[in-house]
Amino acid sequence: MSTDTHVGPVTTPPQYQKILDYIEIAKQDGAKCVLGGQAYTGPAAKGGQFVEPTIFTDVNNKMRIAQEEVFGPLLAVIPFDTEEDAISIGNDVDFGLAAGVWTRI
């Protein structure tokens, strides 16, 4: 793999379409796409199914994008005020989803 590689292709056509569908669902639900949000079709994508790394803000925990695993290059940002608030948000899902926390502390 080239050191210039930043994202790889989606493995199957159904998963590729599922990721694109989740992007549209997030927009319809009111999330704000601040980066990416579409298929990447540039020269490096030749022969593969690529989705731009995508970041959504204005996400709440009731949106599908926050409640379901997308398995694609998609990040839903949900702000929190306290550690307890973050734990509550993380536990308020039907599945045992993984999450990450970035802070300035």
Q: In the predicted model, what is the mean pLDDT of residues 5-18? A: 90
pLDDT of res. 77: 93
Which pLDDT band, with edges at 50, 70 and 90, does 105 fall under? low
Asked whether residue 38 is domain-assigned, the answer is yes
Domain that holds residue 33: 13-91
Domain assignment present for 35: yes
Q: What is the pLDDT of residue 97?
A: 66
Q: Is residue 39 part of a domain?
A: yes
Residue 39 has pLDDT above 80, yes or no: yes
On whether residue 63 sits in a domain, the answer given is yes
Q: How confident is the model at residue 11 (pLDDT cuts 50, 70, 90)?
A: very high
8 in any annotated domain: no
The answer to whether residue 102 sits within a structural domain is no
74 located within any domain: yes
Question: Is 1 within a domain?
Answer: no
- The backbone torsions φ and ψ at residue 40, rounded to the nearest 5 degrees and listed phi first, read -95, 125
- Cα distances from 2 to residues 6, 8, 44, 45, 53, in angstroms, run 9, 11, 12, 14, 18
- Is 98 or 38 the better-scoring residue by pLDDT? 38
Total structural domains in the chain? 1
Give the CATH number for residue 28: 3.40.309.10
pTM: 0.85
